[in-house]
Structure 1
Amino acid sequence: MASTSPVVAFIGLGTMGFPMAGHLSQQGYQVVVYNRTQAVADRWLQQYAGSSAATPAEAAAQAQVILSCVGNDQDLKQVYLGDNGIITGAKAGSILVDHTTASAGVATELAAAAQQAKLAFLDAPVSGGEAGAVNGCLTIMVGGEQSDLDKVEPILQCYGKAINLLGPVGYGQSCKMVNQLCIAGILQGLSEGISLAKAANLDIDKVIEVLQHGAAGSWQLNNRAKTMANNQFDFGFAIDWMRKDLAICFNEADKLGVALPLAKQVDEQYAKLQQRGYSRADTSVLIKQFDQQD
């Protein structure tokens, strides 16, 4: 990487952010990280070259591109708009890229604050789960200006295999809502299909092999059908986070007058599974709706 490469700040070293920031370091970028829990930042520094900052503002002040991946709308407002937030510290002309799955409304709010501070902002939620982050092959859905995306796309390519601009700020988040709704529906169908396959004594491996080449093929079928059949759920994207994302979808759908009956059915099943102790289990645990209560 050339010495003229921009300094990059990464705010939020959770399940996704930790490996995403790691790819930047491995690609030769100068990376400054911030995490709410300093011990996590310390652990990141044990694995990757870079430095850490005490606040989001301090991290942003050192960088030309500031990336974030935190929990929810409230977390975003804190790290961007708080007294020690990104916008307070970022230099004029910096580009802010948020990878959090959040509401389109908060993306618009942050973009307005960024513009006032002479900063550019892109909402850029990702899909692909922890495995996608670790393997550097995430799908990135972007809202904002093409000229801003052009400037940061080489950075995003360190962990993204598909990077697409959907429209103005907020459109990335709207596309991520569509993504989550589709996943919910696919997992419900897989849960029912695998339950029937097991009851009919079908060989699950053969079923997957046949179906993945036809119209029922999907990432979820290829990566989750076998583990669902084997009762394995201690990995992946937790239903706590999926319910957070679905709540965002429901709020947006209410504003737009769109009915989401299947997604609401799935959400109700996830709520029951949370009560059964599966809050941190992968979303594919949806199949256990058909089990007798534990």
Structure 2
Amino acid sequence: MQTFTHGGAEIAAFHDAKTGSWQYVVVDPATRAAAIIDPVLDFDETAAATSTRNAEAILAFVRERELRVEWILDTHPHADHFSAAPWLQAELGAPTAIGEKVTGVQALWKDLYGLPDDFPTDGRQWDRLFREGETFRVGELPARVMFSPGHTPASITYVIGDNAFVHDTLMMPDAGTSRADFPGGDAHALYCSIRDILALPDDTGVFVGHDYGPDGREPACFSTVAAQKARNIHVGGDRSEADFVALRQRRDATLPLPKLMLYALQVNIRGGRLPEPEADGRVYFRIPANRFEPPEEQA
């Protein structure tokens, strides 16, 4: 765990080494109110078994510090890990939320998985669907929602105090940006979303959703808008939209799909819940065959 005090908030960052994911507890120091952002439910794909190691670490932190969790927030339906939002909600009672564009992602993946007609794609799996620009509070900390499409059509950034939780939109400056080749992704939209984030004040904290420790450095999660503008290897300086899109598309064509993607999306379009049990009482995953090509077979 790493801790930060920045932009009016106290922030605890939890790293999941398996998926490279960062999970956050954002605390208002005046009231001890908190929000949890993008918690991970552990999954062993070999055994197709879930566990709660990451979520239990977050829960222990919350209880040890006697925090009052007011929100459990997802930035988008993740492709590389399961959301632990329902498990934490059962423990803490806080409402869950995501951006309202999640309904489009639900419809897209409902079709890809061949789910039954009665599978709901209206976002009812979350307690709150945020609109673009909508505001809320974490204790006395002001918070607002920025839509950040590109990585997925539903991706959002949470600006809490003077901190932006950008998840898969920006990475650390030496790692660049996230991919935009998943179904519904768009490199042009990603460029515009990043420019919106980089228009925030220079001292705004930027907390990323993934880091894999490139070149052997320790995983990191925090930078600032100023650092991103100056040093991000994909969008720093005056890189044009056309150059960025070409770079992003060349790189995306070489990347394998996340190992857990075809498991994770069917869980995360359900708000982090496993599929309903079948008639025999057992839960089964549904995997579409021959829908995606490995990178070496792409043009």
TM range (shorter): 0.3 to 0.5
Flag the structure with larger Rg. Answer: 1
Considering fraction of residues, name the structure with more helix: 1
Question: TM-score, structure 2 length as denominator?
Answer: 0.33
Structure with the larger RCO, 1 or 2 (CA within 8 Å, 6+ apart): 2
